[in-house]
Amino acid sequence: MNLLLGIDIGTTGVKSILIDEKGKVRHTAREEYPLSSPRPGWAEQDPELWWKATAKSIRRLIDGGAPASKIAALSFSGQMHGLVPMGADDKPLRPAILWCDQRTFRECEQIEQKLGARLIKIASNPALAGFTAPKILWMKKNEPALYKKMEYFLLPKDYVRLKLTGERGTDISDASGTILVDVASGGWSEELFSDLGIRRSAAVRIFGSGQLCGEITREAARATGLRQGTPVAAGGADNTCAAVGTGIVRAGLVSSSIGSSGVIFAHTDALKVDPQCRVHSFNHSAPGKFYLMGVMLSAGLSFKWFRDTFGEAEKAFEKAKGRDAYDQLAKLASGAPAGCEGLVFLPYLNGERTPHKDPFARGVLFGISTRHTRAHAVRAVMEGIVFGLKDSLDIIESLGTRVKQVRVTGGGGKNAFWRQMQADVFGKPVVTMENDEGPAFGAALLAGVGAGVFPSVETAAAKTVRLASSVEPRREMTAVYKKNHALFKSLYPALKDSFKKGFVE
């Protein structure tokens, strides 16, 4: 039986998995790497870290008994929006500027002022600090000597594919996150490159996510243990690969993912754009399809912040007894009432993308009284994260997307208390998958499409994605959360100006 290799180039590490044609995971390996923040609000990585971690993870699979001769194809998922400026020698000119980097707010203002509504008409999105085009303009202004040497630019996963195949390229789902693509037509926008003063020659060829675009070179085979000539498919953005891997490839299905960031992802057959640009509209990895997406910058990161700052007892117990600190905190939270007796948390620790588009926004714990305990506080953090996701879900539904079911992944899908909270807040059935391998699983399915193992992305998902459990919303709890969500929504507009006044660059 053929094996398919999926590689996810994440923000904190690489995950490589091998699955068979039925979707069963045969082998997994993960390698981590650091994130650099040379200045407040900056986020960078050396692209060589991605390559070395990828090669090491694949070598671990092969050395662990995965037969290289059985691997029919491989493909990638990758963190979106990161800028990897490349020289003519196919080497990076500087560390990559990542999706969570916030340095480009001035460039975003300039883009918005210059292009206005035309940007939305073409790219279907506004200029946000995390996107790629503002990073290119920042580099042009602040590092002009390096910018002149930039032969072309890549996105993070595309650098790893270059190292494996020697081929320059990207895929449509990832490219659409640069805001240099005409999303409706699915190609680079000559108009946007011209208006922004970015060389069109710096843009590489765009492939379909499941399209073959190279094969493993002799050098890459030596580094990884893979068979020379193994086919490589273009792959996709991490969010679209996660959607493929959870079957979000048809209308009515939505995924809720709580990792470091938080994502609400809704498949659409036709392009839909929010006139206020409160959610993103991008190209899907399923050919000719699109998606609406809400992104929170500090979802799981907010829970991590609470654990690291106020969860010393849980961390110590985890170290001594092996019980996960997050599960302990969730159990503590379950002892507080829904709504936390008026305590509300705004999860904007590092600014926010949707729906507020505000790099200055910050976290708030509102409504503290002498009645409130640590249990109330941790529950408020968890509720605030889900309320932030609910903001995007409501906008998506207001655009005419009917949501029948929410498929949960990440940390928010592993804990029963948090799953029930999502069902109650969303007012929708919440389900889990048999496997929760995330974007790497979707990448492996795209490899199967490229190799002809599956005739389409939709068929690949139908044959391999299986549901595990389901949670129904409780009507009485949905009513409680509806009231508290209204309070949550009222706080950001009241504090918006104060956030900016308190900003320290």
Active site residues: 238
H or E stretch including 259? none
149 vs 144: CA distance, rounded Å: 9
Nearest to 406 by CA among 439, 381, 432: 432
496 vs 351: CA distance, rounded Å: 11
Contact 14/31 with Cβ under 8 angstroms?
yes
Angle 404-398-462 from CA coordinates, rounded to 5°: 30
Identify the residue whose tokens are 């912040």: 305
The token duo for 190 is 């000559």
What's the half-sphere exposure (Cβ side, CA atoms, 13 Å) at 394? Answer: 15
469 vs 309: CA distance, rounded Å: 33
What percent of the chain is helix, strand and coil (3-state, nearest 5)?
45, 20, 35
CA distances from 238 to 137, 222, 401 (A): 24, 27, 22
The token duo for 226 is 């893979």
Instruction: With H, G, I as helix, E, B as strand and everything else as coil, classify residue 351.
Output: strand
Residue 226 C-alpha from the chain's centroid: 28
The torsion of the CA quartet 136, 142, 146, 147, rounded to 10 degrees, works out to 40
Instruction: With H, G, I as helix, E, B as strand and everything else as coil, classify residue 323.
Output: coil
29 vs 35: CA distance, rounded Å: 20
CA distances from 371 to 311, 375, 377, 477, 487 (A): 20, 11, 11, 21, 19
Radius of gyration of the chain (CA): 22
Identify the residue whose tokens are 């002009």: 144
Contact 270/317 with Cβ under 8 angstroms?
no
144 vs 126: CA distance, rounded Å: 25
